[in-house]
Every structure is written in structure tokens, then in C-alpha cells.
């Protein structure tokens, strides 16, 4: 049986207390949210924190709300809450679509949105979703609060821009008029990690694409993003030709490698096909005006 190395446990009741504990306990301490990524890593001895700081009682980070033109999602929102949120789905159906395909109910009941983003696993679905939506990440720590575009939050596989005394507190997603979104994933069996997946967000104003986001999962795209493909869509009418060209660019500019889930060329093929489908579906969705 695999067991973690010994560790101390402290429970925080507020965000301020959690940050104070991180500072007091130093860089060998880690926050634990749902524990679905951290505990397996501790059991495999891939992580050996000396102190775990439990943030599960931080109700102040558990909300999904609209504030002005922004959808705000607290870091402690569980996957299942985002999956079932009518508010999130009203503006961005991509959330429910992606969440329905993340793991299984056990993981979704406990795992958090913040934990997913901080784990920064290249095969993690929500990082691609929030990248497609061009979200901002809000971080709190000993030196105050800061905001980062998601493209600057993930610094590489399993690494983020968080300092040891910092906590991800919120994800801010701009609300956009005339915008559709969609998520397409291929997995070996229900509940598995993606072989490849694609999230899209497209805004059309006066018949032309004015904003586009394409997030890629499990194919080692830079910052989970297909930037060349996004740029190719801007100013174009939403035609089949534009979609096909963007899909081809997304497939060309990602970096998949062969593993037990499939060879490289198969994963590139999936990216191309899933990008076409996700862009087409996003473009066919009409969403509410944002005031």
C-alpha cells in the first residue's frame, strides 16, 4: 500500500489565516483543496509537503456570480457546482460541456476549480477552457492581491506563477455579447483524461469574427492555447473556409507526443477535427446580450 511521507496538518478558517499559515510554515507547506491531485502525488512520493494547510472551510472562495461585465468563479467551487451552474451555462455552455466529461462524480464532488488550475496538468480540461475564454486569475498572498491573464499563470507543465505564500482565489471571465462557446473531447473511456480536447469561444460583430479563443488539452500547446489559429479567424466572416484553416493551424502548432493514449499523428488529427467541430458549434450558438 502506498502511503504519504509524514506531514503536519493545519486547518484554515479564513483566507487571511491560510496566507498567514503559508508564511509561517514556509515553502515546504502546501494548501490542500479537494486533494484529488495532491494526495495521489503524496502517496507516490512525488510531493512531500511537511505541512498541509486545509482550505476546504474557506466558504468565502465558494461562489459563482456576475459582477458588472464579469463572471466571477471562486477557487473553492467544486467541479459539480460549475457543471450544474445555470448562471455559468447561460453565458458559457462550454463549462457544463467540459465538466460533464471531467473524471467521474466522485472526483467532481470534491475536486475544485482552483485545484485543477494550480495542478497545471497538461491534460487538465479547465485550463484549456479558461484559456479559450481568456480569463484572468486572481491571486492573494503576503504581499497583497494581484491579477494575471491566464496565459501568464501557467508557466509550464505542472508549474504556475504562484509564489509559495500565494493562493489562487478567483477566476474572472469577461462577459461578451454575440458570443458562443463549445468543448469537444475524445477520451478512451468515460471518465478518462483526454486523448485530446478543444475548447472554443467566438464572438461575431456585424457579421465578422471580432474575438476568438481556442484552448487545447493534452497536446502540449503553449499556454494551452492555439494562438495562430485564433489570430487567423479575426476579421473573417464565420465561413467553413475560415474554420478549416483555423483547425489546420491548431493541429500544426501544438506539440503532442506518443504515449499509451495514442501516436502523435492521431492526436494532431483529433485536434484538427475537434477544432472544426467546436468552432462550428460555438458559431451556431447565440447567447444573451450583455449590458
Ligand X SMILES: Cc1cc2nc3c(=O)[nH]c(=O)nc-3n(C[C@H](O)[C@H](O)[C@H](O)COP(=O)(O)OP(=O)(O)OC[C@H]3O[C@@H](n4cnc5c(N)ncnc54)[C@H](O)[C@@H]3O)c2cc1C
Q: Give the one residue of 125, 136, 165, 184 binding ligand X; rule: CB under 6 A.
A: 125
Q: Give the one residue of 114, 199, 215, 256 binding ligand X; rule: CB under 6 A.
A: 114
Task: Rank residues 34 and 256 by Cβ distance to ligand X and give the closer one.
Answer: 34
Q: Give the one residue of 74, 93, 115, 256 binding ligand X; rule: CB under 6 A.
A: 115
Q: By CB under 6 A, how many residues form the interface with ligand X?
A: 27
> Shortest approach of ligand X to residue 106 CB, angstroms?
8
Q: Which stretch binds ligand X (CB under 6 A): 3-11, 117-125, 176-184, 264-272?
A: 117-125
> Shortest approach of ligand X to residue 14 CB, angstroms?
14
One DSSP character per residue, the chain reads ---PPP-EEEE-SSHHHHHHHHHHH-TTEEEESS-TTHHHHHHTTS---SEEEE-TT-GGG--EEEETTEEEEETT-BHHHHHH-HHHHHH-THHHHHHTTSS-HHHHHH-BHHHHHHH--TT-HHHHHHHHTT-EEEEEETTEEEEEEHHHHEEETTEES--TTEEEEEEEEE--TTEEEEEEEEESSTTPPEEEEEEEEEEEETTEEEEEEEEEESS--GGGB-HHHHHHHTTS-S-HHHHHHHHHHHHHT-----BTTB-HHHHHHHHHHHHHHHHHHHHT---PPP-
Q: Is residue 118 a contact residue for ligand X (CB under 6 A)?
A: yes
Q: Which of positions 3-42 make contact with ligand X (CB under 6 A)?
A: 30-38
Q: Which of positions 216-255 make contact with ligand X (CB under 6 A)?
A: none
Q: Is residue 150 a contact residue for ligand X (CB under 6 A)?
A: no
Binding pattern for the stretch 164-203 against ligand X, x by CB under 6 A and - elsewhere? ---xx------------------------x----------
Q: Give the one residue of 99, 124, 165, 170 binding ligand X; rule: CB under 6 A.
A: 124
Binding site for ligand X (CB under 6 A): 30-38, 75, 102-103, 107, 111-112, 114-116, 118-119, 124-126, 162, 167-168, 193
Amino acid at each position: 500500500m502506498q502511503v504519504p511521507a509524514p506531514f503536519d496538518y493545519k486547518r484554515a478558517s479564513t483566507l487571511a489565516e491560510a496566507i498567514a499559515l503559508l508564511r509561517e510554515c514556509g515553502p515546504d507547506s502546501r494548501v490542500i483543496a479537494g486533494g484529488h491531485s495532491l494526495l495521489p502525488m503524496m502517496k507516490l512520493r512525488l510531493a512531500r509537503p511537511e505541512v498541509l494547510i486545509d482550505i476546504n472551510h474557506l466558504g468565502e472562495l465558494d461562489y459563482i456570480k456576475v459582477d458588472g461585465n464579469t463572471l466571477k468563479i471562486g477557487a473553492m467551487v467544486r467541479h459539480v457546482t460549475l457543471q450544474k451552474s445555470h448562471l455559468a451555462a447561460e453565458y458559457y455552455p462550454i463549462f457544463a460541456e467540459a465538466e460533464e466529461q471531467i473524471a467521474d462524480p466522485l472526483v467532481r464532488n470534491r475536486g475544485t476549480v482552483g485545484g485543477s488550475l494550480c495542478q497545471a496538468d497538461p491534460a487538465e480540461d479547465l485550463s484549456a477552457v479558461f484559456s479559450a475564454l481568456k480569463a484572468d486569475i486572481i491571486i492573494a498572498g503576503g504581499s497583497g492581491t494581484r491579477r494575471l491573464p491566464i496565459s501568464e499563470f501557467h508557466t509550464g507543465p505542472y508549474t504556475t506563477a504562484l509564489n509559495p505564500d500565494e493562493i489562487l482565489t478567483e477566476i474572472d471571465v469577461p462577459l461578451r455579447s454575440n458570443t458562443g462557446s463549445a468543448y469537444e473531447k475524445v477520451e478512451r473511456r468515460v471518465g478518462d483524461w483526454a486523448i485530446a480536447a478543444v475548447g472554443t469561444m467566438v464572438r461575431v460583430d456585424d457579421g465578422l469574427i471580432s474575438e476568438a479563443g481556442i484552448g487545447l488539452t493534452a497536446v502540449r500547446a503553449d499556454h494551452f492555447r492555439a494562438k495562430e489559429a485564433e489570430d487567423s479567424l479575426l476579421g473573417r466572416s464565420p465561413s467553413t473556409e475560415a474554420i478549416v484553416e483555423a483547425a489546420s493551424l491548431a493541429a500544426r502548432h501544438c506539440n503532442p507526443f506518443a504515449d499509451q493514449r495514442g501516436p502523435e499523428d492521431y492526436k494532431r488529427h483529433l485536434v484538427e477535427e475537434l477544432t472544426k467541430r467546436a468552432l462550428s458549434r460555438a458559431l451556431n450558438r447565440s447567447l444573451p446580450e450583455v449590458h
